[in-house]
Amino acid sequence: MHYHLFENFELRDKYIDLAIEKGSTDQNLCYLRGLQNKPELIPVDVIERELSSYTEEQNWSQRARFYMTLGKYKEAATDYVRGVNESLEQESVFSEAFYLKELANKGLIEELFILALKKATEEGDLWWQVRALQELEWTDQIDSLILEKAEEIERSGDSHLNHLLASVRGDKVRLMEIIKSDAQEECS
């Protein structure tokens, strides 16, 4: 752990491998492989035992952390929410705050937006691709996508997407036309 903190990953990995070779608990093995960001090196039977243990104990927060290690972000979000909900029911304010903070700080929200982006891309849903990119604050990717799909956007008649297209192109005249049109629709 010290080598990890000092970002000496070569020595960290050397000593992790030695620790695992000498024998390690399932939980410790999972933690160490998670530290390395190498969940693929966790044997399937160890994963199953860990998940089973957390499930039997109904330890949703620990199971959420483990799902994060495994890169299973939807499952992690489900368990974080479940754990926070139980804390709310038990009026355990510190736990509520702690796990909500952890959920936000571990990048889970971003990972969920990335999953949403992948899904929208697979489905060819331009609007949800743009929304996911906006939430991720990936402005360069938004601009590229909007320009790449310019013809599709123009044909769609979608005022929000056309608004974005005019903005990306720097077309102030078209942008004003869209704004006026939207305002007229709202008034009528």
- Tokens 């992790």 locate to 16
Residues 56-91: b if buried by 16+ CB within 10 A, e if exposed: eeeebbebbbbbbbbebbebbbebbeebbebbeeee
Instruction: Write down the pTM of the prediction.
Output: 0.80
pLDDT tens figures, 115-149: 999 999 999 999 999 999 999 999 999 999 999 99
pLDDT bin (cut points 50, 70, 90) of residue 3 is confident
pLDDT bin (cut points 50, 70, 90) of residue 71 is very high
How many angstroms separate the CA atoms of 71 and 79, rounded? 14
According to the model, what pLDDT value does residue 13 have?
Answer: 87
According to the model, what pLDDT value does residue 40 have?
Answer: 95
What integer is the mean pLDDT of 56-77? 95
